[in-house]
Structure 1
Amino acid sequence: MTAACVFAAAIVLLMLLLQGCNNAVPGKQDTGKQKEQKEQKESVQQENTGPKPVGGDVQSSEVFYEIFVRSFYDSDGDGIGDLQGVIQKLDYLNDGDPSTTDDLGISGIWLMPIQPSPSYHGYDVTDYYEINPEYGTLDDFKELTAEAHKRGISIIMDLVVNHTSTEHPWFLDALASEESPYRDWYVWANAADEDGHDLSETSATGGKAWHNRGGSHYLGVFWEGMPDLNFDQPEVRQEMIKAGRFWLEAGADGFRLDAAKHIYDDLQSTGGKPEITDMNVAWWQEFRAGLEEGGHNPYLVGEIWDNSPVVIAPYLNKAFDSGFNFSLGEQLLAAAKSGSSSSAVTTLSRILGLYADSSGGAFIDAPFLTNHDLNRVMSVLEGDVNKAKMAASLLLTMPGRPFIYYGEEIGMSGSKPDEHIREPMVWYEDPSGGEGQPTWQSRMYNEGGSVSVEAQMNDEDSLFAHYRKLIHLRAADAVLRTGTIDSYSSPDSRVMTYVRELDADKRLVLNNLSADEIVIELDPAEEWGELAFSSVDGASLKDGKLKLPAYSTMVLK
């Protein structure tokens, strides 16, 4: 998409948002004029172009689960989670049997970086073709993908192509000599500023852009340990496509692509310029095409960390299937925390229309509440389990492919710095842990007890049970998985309502975000006659009156 198209899309989006505050009648579908409604529904319908579930008859919830391998499950007793540990816990995530309901029910896993790295987090890679030896071997990875596929679980992995580690052999060779064949794989300046670089420039992420090593200055947008690769070099592009194909051939189903907008968006002085976006998108289109030329159909989700849909939309044009929806997560958490409905759905339906226009309908939204870079849900919600349940309800009834961060389903807490939002998964009630419990890091927030898998697995009132219930509902209902979403005006601000629709099959979703029981009178002309789902006991639908218990989610047909 050209910069001009982006600007035009922005104008269209702004006009739609301004039209969104129409005079809605309580209990009526709040979609504006009939022409707008028709256009919106046509544009918002999403085409799932990613990899299909590979487990035969296993139902797909379209829910992905983010795993920090180091913190998940330790198979060999060294205190560090590993790939064999993930294999051992696959049945916890999805046992592959649609007739059982004990498992969480996810249908995809996102593995945070698993390649060799000098850092605990792995986002500075030293070898694009190997597994971090603390996590296992390439054979372990192949076994993991095979076992996951048997259960209908797709595996995507972090692929960090924007930068390497300073300990990567390429960088060490480039640093050693200006004649190195890898010298131009990175971006350099010198103290004499002969290349026109301002060595005091601020990077796009707010830190120093240029770093001195032995008199040579190299670009590192994130920090000095992560030198940026030079994507003006064809060899770099070819190498990254080669690495992508390697992992797809090893069994991966796709990639979460780190720092996607920083391939060329390096400096604060140039950030956000349309020509920079165009260059980024052109690279990612080339990357996708290169993978597809190798006979693959990967699912690609980009970390385009921006709250502006106008920035994200171009990347969905033959580059990514999805871009993480950062702004939606903030809005859903805010609604759950405040106990009051918001305009999130009205805004979302129009944003999805913009994405559909940019992608030709071939996109999948990627909603989430939090991830490894953000404070955990339970900390944001100040430890309120009921509000955490409602945040989960909102997420899991949104369109697209929801992503859950490991431990959110049991209410793990954690606030910055990063190490404290990446603490080990809590498997046992006993604070001392047990078999498989990672111990690589001391825990500040999560000491076991009720915040553990062991305590919640068999407790039908637990947060885990709530997540499981909503995920299995999603797996069983195609309307909730792939249908459109439209706002629906609720007569009570404490109830967040919206309509999901697929091929004229509709669901009315109502979320009571408050601690009060609420009774809503529905419009009889709309014929919502069946209470198809309730997250708690005590709900009822009789003579057009719907009783919603406190902190509850209802789905009507």
Structure 2
Amino acid sequence: MRFKPLLLSLLSFSALAELDHVQPSSWWIGMQHKDVQIMLHGNDIGDDKVRVSYPGVALIDVQHTDNNNYLFVTLRISDDAKPGKVGITLDSDTAWVDLLEREPGSAQRQGFNNSDVIYLITPDRFANGDSTNDEVADLKEGKNREHVGGRHGGDIQGIIDHLDYLDDMGYTQLWLMPVLENDQASYSYHGYSTTDYYRIDPRYGSNGLYRQLSDQLAKRNMGLIKDVILNHIGSEHWWMKDMPASDWINHGGKFVGTNHRRETMHDPHAAPGEAAGFKDGWFVPSMPDLNQRNPLLATYLIQNSIWWIETAKLSGIRLDTYSYPDSAFLSEYTRRVMQEYPNFSMVGEEWSTNPAIVSYWQRGTKRHDGYQSALSSLMDFPLQDAVVKGLTAPETWSSGISSIYQTLANDFVYGNANDLVVFPDNHDMSRIFSQLNEDIALTKMALAFYATTRGTPQYFYGTEILMKNPGTDDHGVIRSDFPGGWPDDKVNGFNGKGLTAEQAGMQAWLRQLLNWRKTSAAVTSGELVHYIPYDGTYVYFRVADKQRVMVVLNKGQARTVPMSYFHAMLGDAKQGKDVMLGSDVALSGDLALDAKSVRIIEF
């Protein structure tokens, strides 16, 4: 009987000794920033003594919080260190961190740029390449393809299976909506409620499969852009069951909604507290709002992005809800990422149609308050709004196609407007075909414009086959399944089976346009010069040293335009070629334009 208390004591000690989380569990030798912060989470470890003994690795700091289940250990990694397993020894357990060698050229990786065309995919809705992961035992929500807000079974393997199709279409970068674990009870397919920052959701695949996707893209000279959420997590994140610190979540972990008024960040007349109401408020009760003013959390988020860039060999990051996190944190986040990867690309989502609001966050912009940013790009929401209005509103002095011209004329407010990402639609708004009232001619005009204007174009999956959302703005409908991504689909957008003539025609047309775009230095690296629109017709040129491209958007009736008016841009050129028709075009006399048409002329 006397041994039972001893046995119980040993069992209790074993429970105390187990570490639940070590994040990150790996890091690299030769990083520009030599320190790495390791989050340790386990029962009552906060008072443990910490020891590290590994050549070239020094213990720099140990941070405690008001939760005794956490320790934050900072290691300094010398360039002379060798790969191996670094043990962080506590009184009750040892945490192991893999020390890795970087791949050659990792720091000089090239981000996306104007030579690229980005394809945005909702992974759950693109293709189901592995039906065995549709249901995962330790995750709450399973497959329910009949429910527009449910999980449909698309995954990373499905994307890999169709890379040849995407390559053939002319896309060069894939932006996937978030693929990290989202273990929410419902509505988890969209990915914006992270429950583990270091784990690919098993219903999509694994960390290794995500890396395979990146490797397969690289073989095709394509890149991978990761969707990153710095502002909030999912309510089922493991942090919410054992908060790392009492100030980890804004408003003490209790829901207080954001006012969504990003103008308060810049408004010289804003009342006290209005800006905090924007920054610190939550989107919805299921998305706890992170407090990046906590320096331990700030470092965790910065390191997580760097870890994924290095692990998955990313070519870019898309930053969700960009302006909502703490502004000082965003400055440091962009500085640290660009310090490690000077040629990398990051694009922020600042959903405003006001160029002054959007431009504030871009590097190189002259700001009213001296704010520092290293963010290379933003999504050009002002231009997206202008194109839809320009193609659908009546032609007057102040409306119609001149909206496009007027918006581009505001490019002087940006640090570099050429670095913006331009797009006809995305996952949070009606599809462009629906926004343009299912008018195929206007849709072609819009898609051609985005392929030939300044910036890096992004298209949403299925745009090439005229996917639409008639009569509803439900996101589940907007993000409908790509036809052919499931074995029992009767229509297949990948091989053309069952597509209508209009769908097949648009697909072939966009394929031709995007593959031509790859060959055009004027479009991918040239300057934009445009003329004041007249009577529903807008003309602009893309100009490089040895090549020029003339684009004419004609929103109205059939007409002709005198080429002599554009002599300053045409110069002595006598003849060009219509890119889409393949026919020769005389650069003198009058140019004939069909009603609601676009012409792209290379010379």
Map 1:219-234 onto structure 2 (within 5 A): 220-234=281-295
Change (3 A) 1:234 1:450: closer
Residue 288 (str. 1) matches residue 334 (str. 2): yes
Q: Does 2:513 match 1:470?
A: yes
Q: Which residue of 2 aligns with 1:548?
A: 593
1:105 alignment partner in structure 2: 170
**Which residue is 2:437 aligned to?**
382
Maintained 8 Å contact 1:67/1:112: yes
Indicate how the Cα distance of structure 1 residues 436 and 324 shifts in structure 2: closer, same or farther if over 3 A, else same: farther
Q: 1:232 to 1:53 in 2, by over 3 A?
A: closer
Alignment of 1:429-444 (within 5 A): 435=487
> Following TM superposition, by how much is the alpha carbon of 1:61 offset from its aligned partner in structure 2, in angstroms?
4.1
Q: Distance in 2 between matches of 1:511 and 1:231?
A: 46
Rate the CA distance shift 1:529–1:331 in 2: closer, same or farther, 3 A: farther
Asked if 1:75 is matched to 2:129, the reply is yes
Residues 61, 476 of structure 1: 8 Å contact kept: no
**Residue 297 of structure 1: CA displacement?**
4.1
**Residue aligning to 1:185:** 248
- The number of residue pairs the alignment matches comes to 437
Contact 1:219 1:227 in 2 (8 A): no
Contact 1:85 1:436 in 2 (8 A): no
Residue 117 of structure 2 corresponds to which residue in structure 1?
63
Query: 1 or 2, which has the higher strand percentage?
Result: 2
Distance 2:108 2:402 in 1: 29
- Contact in 1 for aligned 2:193/2:234 (Cα 8 Å): yes
Corresponding residue for 1:114?
179
Note the alpha carbon deviations across 1:117-169, whole angstroms, 9 max, x for none.
Answer: 12121101000001011100011001000010111111111111101111111
Does 2:198 correspond to 1:157?
no
The answer to whether the 8 Å contact 1:156/1:255 transfers is: yes
Q: Which structure is richer in relative contact order (CA contacts within 8 A, separation 6 or more)?
A: 1
| Structure 2 stretches lacking a partner, 5+ long | 1-106, 135-151, 263-278, 364-372
SS at 1:473 equivalent = helix
The answer to whether the Cα contact below 8 Å between 2:163 and 2:217 also exists between their aligned partners in 1 is yes
Give the CA RMSD over aligned residues. Answer: 3.2
The Cα of 1:60 is off from its aligned counterpart by 8.0
Report the Cα offset of residue 506 of structure 1. Answer: 3.4
Distance 1:153 1:294 in 2: 21
Is 2:258–2:280's contact at 8 Å kept on the other side of the alignment?
Answer: no
1:518 aligns with 2:559: yes
| Paired amino acid for 2:592 | K
> Are 2:391 and 1:336 equivalent residues in the alignment?
yes
1:93 aligns with 2:166: yes
The secondary structure found in structure 2 opposite 1:552 is strand
TM-score (ref. length: structure 1): 0.71
Which structure 2 residues correspond to residues 367-516 of structure 1 after superposition, within 5 A? 367-414=422-469, 415-427=472-484, 435=487, 448=491, 453-455=496-498, 462-489=505-532, 492-503=534-545, 505-514=547-556, 516=557
Q: Does 1:346 align with 2:389?
A: no
* Pair 133,283 (structure 1): closer, same or farther in 2 beyond 3 Å: same
Q: 1:203 aligns with which of 246, 253, 259?
A: 259
Q: Please state whether the residue corresponding to 1:419 is helix, strand or coil.
A: helix
Between 1:289-298 and 1:148-157, the stretch displaced more is 289-298
- Contact preservation (8 Å) 1:378, 1:385: yes
Q: Is the 8 A contact 1:529 1:556 kept in 2?
A: no
CA distance in 1 between partners of 2:181 and 2:503 (Å): 41
The Cα offsets for residues 339-377 of structure 1, whole Å up to 9 and x where unpaired, read as 866224533443322213xxxx49611111111100111
Shift in alpha-carbon separation, 1:256–1:60, aligned structure 2, 3 A: closer
CA distance in 2, matches of 1:233, 1:203: 22
Secondary structure of the structure 2 residue equivalent to 1:386: helix
Q: 2: distance between equivalents of 1:401 and 1:488?
A: 21
TM-score, normalised relative to structure 2: 0.66
Code of the residue aligned with 1:411 in structure 2: it is L
Matched, 1:532 2:544: no
Deviation at 1:239, TM superposition (A): 0.3
| Deviation digits for residues 24-56 of structure 1 (CA, Å, limit 9, x no counterpart) | xxxxxxxxxxxxxxxxxxxxxxxxx995379xx
Match of 1:311 in 2: 357
Would you say the 8 A contact 1:60–1:106 is kept in 2? no
Q: CA deviation at 1:556?
A: 4.5
Structure 1 unmatched ranges of 5 or more: 1-48, 95-102, 175-180, 192-198, 207-217, 265-279, 428-432, 438-446
Distance in 2 between residues matched to 1:419 and 1:409, nearest whole Å: 19
350, 355, 362: which one aligns with 2:414: 355
Give the counterpart letter for 2:426 in structure 1: N
Call closer, same or farther: CA 1:456–1:395 in 2, change over 3 Å: farther
Q: Distance in 1 between matches of 2:224 and 2:402?
A: 34
Q: What amino acid sits opposite 1:332 in the alignment?
A: V
1:53 touches 1:107 (CA, 8 Å); kept in 2?
no
Deviation at 1:108, TM superposition (A): 0.8
Asked if structure 2 preserves the Cα contact closer than 8 Å seen for 1:521 and 1:545, the reply is: yes
Cα distance per residue 1:162-189 (max 9 Å; x no partner): 0111111112212xxxxxx332211235
SS in 2 for 1:133: coil
Residues 513/461 of structure 1: CA separation in 2 closer, same or farther (3 Å cut): farther
- Preserved contact between residue 423 and residue 459 of structure 2 (Cα < 8 Å): yes
| SS of residue in 2 equivalent to 1:301 | strand
Q: Distance in 2 between matches of 1:285 and 1:521?
A: 50
Distance 1:165 1:350, change over 3 A: same
1:114 maps to a residue whose letter is V
Alpha-carbon separation, structure 2, partners of 1:232 and 1:316: 21
Task: Indicate the larger mover: 73-82 or 290-299.
Answer: 290-299
Contact 1:349–1:486 (8 Å) recurs in 2: no
Structure with bigger gyration radius: 2
Quick one: which amino acid aligns to residue 202 of structure 2?
P
Alpha carbons of 1:123 and 1:93: their partners in 2 closer, same or farther (altered >3 Å)? same
Could you list the structure 1 runs, at least 4 aligned residues long, displaced by more than 6 angstroms after superposition: 449-452, 457-461
CA distance in 1, matches of 2:353, 2:553: 25
Structure 1 residues 463 and 225, CA, compared in 2 at 3 Å: closer, same or farther?
A: same
